[in-house]
């Protein structure tokens, strides 16, 4: 079981996951960082702010608002 911690991930590990040779688990600290990031995004949306890639498209679609 490969634990994703947001710090170390080799190309060989990515390949093993892609080939189905390795399973994944999310480290507790990494899960906490993901949850904090979600709270930030939810706050941005609740405030009605426009932020590239959060509630807009990317690249040429950056002026397209996404709900």
Query: What is the per-residue pLDDT for 19?
Result: 98
Asked if 27 contacts 7 with a C-beta cutoff of 8 angstroms, the reply is no
Cα–chain-centroid distance for residue 14? 16
Is residue 67 situated within a structural domain?
A: no
- Mention every residue, 6+ apart, whose C-beta is less than 8 A from residue 67: 55
46 catalytic? Reply is: no
pLDDT at 3: 96
In a domain, 66, yes or no: no
- The verdict on residue 21 lying in a domain is yes
Q: What is the dihedral of CA 49, 52, 57, 60, to 10 degrees?
A: 130
pTM: 0.70
Q: How many domains does the chain have?
A: 1
Question: What digits encode the pLDDT tens for the residues 5-64?
Answer: 999 999 999 999 999 999 999 999 999 999 999 999 999 999 999 999 999 999 999 999
Residue 20 lies in a domain: yes
pLDDT of residue 37: 96
Choose the catalytic residue: 6, 14, 43, 52. Answer: 52
pLDDT the model gives residue 67: 85
Q: Is residue 14 included in any domain, yes or no? A: yes
Residue span of the structural domain in which 16 resides: 2-61
């Amino acid at each position: 079981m490969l634990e994703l911690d947001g710090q170390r991930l080799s190309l060989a590990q990515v390949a093993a996951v892609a080939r189905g040779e390795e399973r994944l688990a999310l480290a507790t600290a990494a899960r906490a960082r993901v949850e904090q990031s979600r709270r930030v995004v939810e706050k941005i949306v609740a405030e009605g702010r426009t932020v590239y890639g959060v509630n807009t498209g990317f690249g040429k679609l950056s002026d397209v608002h996404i709900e």
